[in-house]
Structure 1
């Protein structure tokens, strides 16, 4: 089983790095991540194992981050091919299940980075 932690941080350079460092120093493996910004804040969803949730929250609070939510989530293996999202969510919709959060995990999935300075990001990640 897995948990999704919603973490609130300032929308400024270094915050995501600090979050990752705090989790890593606590020995927490982040299995997935989704990040969004708006109105000067970052909203981060972290996927962690059930048994790592408390340690992750303690580490992140210790680093000054606010935990807005902690909930159990379902992690489903899907084929990497066109149409799987539609097929999976159609089955849920047909069962009258509303999806209020969805994101992909690590493991063969590429991480997409959006920034207002793509050239610098390219240079750093070369």
Structure 2
């Protein structure tokens, strides 16, 4: 199952470059991610294949970057057309699944951090 890692870094020039270089040096591929800054800090979510997550954590730690969170995420194909995200979100809502994380991944896929992955998978079939 794909994993989302959360890191928090200072909001300053070069931080993202350092993170990307550390992962690249370790030959770890990032499948998706997002970042938001607020009050001098940047919160970054990074998506990895479950087979690469341990190497990603090691590479980040060796670069002095603390992984503050890890969660399983559901990565779902989504049509590249208006309303497609709304349809997926409606299915999750109707199944009683809360979405706590959302970002686009490569190849027109979307990563959902949800309250119940099993229910979410069933809802989106």
TM-score of the superposition, structure 2-length normalised? 0.84
Residue 102 (1) aligns with residue 102 (2) = yes
Gapped runs of 5+ residues in structure 1? Answer: 110-126
Q: Which runs of 4+ in 1 moved over 6 A?
A: none
User: 1: CA distance between counterparts of 2:50 and 2:8?
Assistant: 20
CA RMSD in angstroms comes to 1.2
Gapped runs of 5+ residues in structure 2? Answer: 110-125
Structure of greater Rg: 1
User: 2: CA distance between counterparts of 1:81 and 1:108?
Assistant: 10
TM-score of the superposition, structure 1-length normalised? 0.83
1:62 matched residue in structure 2: 62
Q: Secondary structure at the match of 1:42?
A: strand
Total equivalences in the alignment: 109
Greater RCO, 1 or 2 (C-alpha within 8 Å, sep 6+): 1
Bigger share in strand: 2
User: 2: CA distance between counterparts of 1:8 and 1:68?
Assistant: 7
User: 1: CA distance between counterparts of 2:39 and 2:30?
Assistant: 26
User: 2: CA distance between counterparts of 1:81 and 1:107?
Assistant: 14
